[in-house]
Amino acid sequence: DPSARPTFAVLKTQLEVLFSSRPELALTSRSSAGLSMSTPRPMDLPDDKLHHAFISYYAREMDGVFISLMQRLMAMGFNVFNQKRDLAGVDVTLDLMKEHAAGSVLVLALLSPNYFTSKWCRGELEGAKAAGVPIVPIYSGDHYTYTQMTDLMKERDDPEKAAAVRAAFGQNLID
């Protein structure tokens, strides 16, 4: 569904705001004008990080969005985690995915209808939150509304889901 896809311009703006508001996330090769969409430049990766970005997503619903977003971010010079490339030939475990999320500068969470039902997606958010990695939730109003998200944060039947929603949005839940 094309309307469910986050627009790249919105994501670019969110990333620019995040990088400008958090000096510890500053990328030394980033121009003062913000992220460049036209001229790829290599970005310095902090010594203690594996990737600039880890994109957490529910593959059955967002695989195309993931591929498009990953390609665009890589074209901008970002090192983006790609399970198929970075973990080729490895027995992938939830702990390993948490490790890569925790070892990233930031996590982009592509929220879709079944995102929070996935133990893998919830685990990736848990790993990032435990490591203090900023989580940028990307969602469409077609999938979630402000009221639905606040209700999910209070979920009593599934505390893991509620914790994942709180990790994804923290104080960033805006209408």
Per-residue pLDDT of 12-52, as tens digits, reads 555 666 555 555 554 444 433 444 444 444 467 788 899 98
Helix (H) or strand (E) holding 72: helix 59-75
Split at pLDDT 50, 70, 90, the class of 125 is: very high
Percent of the chain clearing pLDDT 70 (strictly above): 65
> Which H helix or E strand runs over 86?
helix 83-86
Q: Using a cut of 0.85, tell me whether the model's pTM lies above it.
A: no
